[in-house]
Structure 1
Amino acid sequence: MEKSPLKVVQKVFFGFFAGLDRQLGLILLGLAAVGFFTFLSASQDTPVSIGDEIRNLVLSFAVMWLVSRIPPKWLEISAVWIYGLGVALLIAVAAFGLVKKGARRWLNIGIVIQPSEIMKIAMPLMLAWYFQKREGIQKAWDYGVAAVILGIPVMLIARQPDLGTALLVFAAGLYVIILAGLPWKWILPFVGLAILGILLIIIFGNTICANDVVWPFVHDYQKHRICTLLDPTTDPLGKGFHTIQSMIAIGSGGFFGKGWFHGTQAHLEFIPEKHTDFIFAVYSEEFGLLGNMILLALFFALVKRGLAISASAPNLFTRLLGASVTLIFFTYAFVNIGMVSGLLPVVGVPLPFISYGGTALVTLGLGAGILMSIHRHKRLVQS
C-alpha cells in the first residue's frame, strides 16, 4: 500500500527532528522568537534588514542541527586539532590581521573571520579532552598544564585588544578546570583576591580616576570603562553616554513596558548599538519588568536543561563539555544584562539568541548543537 504524500512529509519532518531534545529546542525557539520581535523594533534606522536576521537565525539553527548529528566521540577526537587551528589563527591575526577601530581582531582568508570566536568552543573542547585523558591518574600538576592551555589563547585575544571575548574564553576554560575537580583550597584565595580588588576599586576608584593615575597592565579604554562604571555622570555625553541612556530606557519601561515599537529611547536614537550589544535596553523599555521576568525565566530554563543534559552524559568528556557550554550561555547573559544595567563595565558581549549578529549566533548554535549531540547519542547508546 502506497503512503500518502502527507504521511511521507510527516515522516521526513519528524525524522529531521528525531533525537533532538524537545525541552531545549522549545527554550531556544522561545529565545529566538523574543530576539526576532525585539530586533524588528530595535533595527529601525539601522543598516541591517529583517532578511539579515532571518538568515543568521536559520544559519545558527542549521549549525545546531548538523552538530547534533556528530557523535561526541568525533568531537573528542578532533578537539586538539580544533584548538590548534584556533591558536594558529590567533597568531596569524597578531601577525597580519585586519585593524578596525583600533583593534586587530579579524583575518581575511577570502572571507573576513574573527578567530577568537572559535576559541569559545575550542577551549572547553580541548580542556575536556585533556581531563578525559587524565581521568583516574589526575595529578596536581595537571591543573598547571590546563592553565597553560587556557592562558595562551586568552593572552593572544587580550592583546588584540578584545577584553570581552578574552573574559568569555577564560570563563569557558575555567568552568572545565573547576568542574574537573580543582580543589577549593586553590579556588578560595583567588576569590578572596578578586573580592578585595573589587572593594578597593569601589572605595578608591573615584579618587584614582579623578587624579588620572596610570593603571598597570590596563589599556586606557579599559580604565575608562571601569571609571565610567563607577560614575557615568563624569562624562555624560561621552564615555558614560551608553550606560546612562540604557539605564534610563530600562527604568522608563516600568512594569508592563511602553509597548512594542513604542520605546522612545530606542526610536529617538538615544541608545547606541541598540540592535546588538544594547538590545536588552530596547527590550526592557518596550516590555518592562514583566517582559524581563519572562526573558530571565527562559535563560534560567536554558541553563537548567543544559546542566541536566550534562549531568546525565555518559562520560567525563561529555559531562565537562556540556556543563561548560551551558555555563557559557549563562556568562553571556549575565555579562550582557549586567553591563546594560550599569552593574558591569561595557564590553562587547551579545545577549544570547537576542542580539543581532552572525558569528556570535553561529557560535551559540554550535554550543546548542553540542548539547543536542550529547543528549541524542546518549539515548542512542542506551537504546
Structure 2
Amino acid sequence: MSAGPHLAIDAMGGDGGLPVVAAGVERALAADPTLRFTLFGDETAIAAELARHKALGTRVAITHSPGVIRNEDKPSQAIRRAKTTSMGMAIAAVKSGDADAAVSAGNTGALMAMAKLALRMIPGIDRPALAAVLPTLGAHDLVMLDLGANTECDANNLFEFAIMGAAYARILHGLDQPSVRLLNIGTEELKGTEALREAAAMLRAADHLPLRFDGFIEANTLSRGETDVIVSDGFSGNIALKTAEGTARFIGDLIRRAFTSSLRSKFGFLLSKPAITLLRKGLDPNQRNGAVFLGLNGTVVKSHGHISPDGFANAIHVAATLARGRITHRIAEDLARIRTAETA
C-alpha cells in the first residue's frame, strides 16, 4: 500500500476537543488507509485518547505542544504564541515540508493569521480566500469563495479568487474548464459594483486560463447546480453562506414540527422515512465540512468548531484531496499562464 498524504492535525481545537478529533481521524483512516497523521497537542492527553482508538495503530504520531489557541484569543495574541501551540506547530509542519496539509477546528482568525504569516502567499496572489464546497441540485457540488477572509475586494482580488476556485473545482470534480460566475445583485452586465464589472471584463478576456466565465449569478440560484465556482467578496459570500445554512436548519425544523404534530403525521413519517433520511443527509453540514485558505504556499483546512467526528473526517478528506491534487502547484501554473500571455 503506497503512502498517502501526511496530515498535521491540531488535536486541541474545536468545541468537541480531542475526543472528536481522534474519532474523526479514525473514521478518515478507515475510509482511506493510505493516510498518515501527526497530532499536535498535549502528549499525555492525546496518548490516553488514542488508547481508545486501537485501529489508528502506527498511522498516527504525536508531537507535544504545551500551548493551545483558545476561541477568544485575538490573532495578534495567537501569532506571538505560534511556536508553542498545537495550531501553530501544525502549520509549521506544513511550512517545513514534514506534512502535506494541516487541519484545525480552532479559532478561525488565529488560524488564518498564523497560516498567512508562516506560509506566505503564492507569488502573484495578493490575498488568501476562504473556500468551501456547497451542495446543489446539479451533478456535483460547487466551490464558493471568498467566505469571510476579505470583507472588501477589488477587481484583481476577485479575478485571483476565480483562478483559485477553478483550480479547486478541477481537482474536486476532474473538470478541464470549470464554469465560474460572480455573485451579484443581477445577471445583467451593467449590474453590481465597479469592482464586479471590472472583474467580469478581466475574466472574459482570460481565454488562456482553464476556466469558463459564465457571467453573474444571483444568490437565489446558488443551489441550482448551474455553475461550478461562485466568486464573491468575503462580506457578501459570508452572508450568503450563513443564509443558506440558516435556511437548511429552518427546513429541517419545519419537517420535524410537521411530522410530530399529530398521530396521522407520525404515521406519515414512517412511510416517508427513506426520503426524509436522504433529505437530512443532504442538509447535514457534516457532509461538506472543511474550508480551505486558498492562495497560501501550503494547504490549511478549517473545520467547524462544533462538528461531529464524521464532520472532522470530512475536513481531513478535503485536506487529503487538495494535497494529492497539488492545489498550490496548480494555482502557480495558472498564474504563470497569465504572465506568459501578458508577455506575448
What's the TM-score once normalised by structure 1's chain length?
0.22
More helix by share: 1
More strand by share: 2
- Which of these two proteins has the greater Rg computed from alpha carbons? 1
What's the TM-score once normalised by structure 2's chain length?
0.24
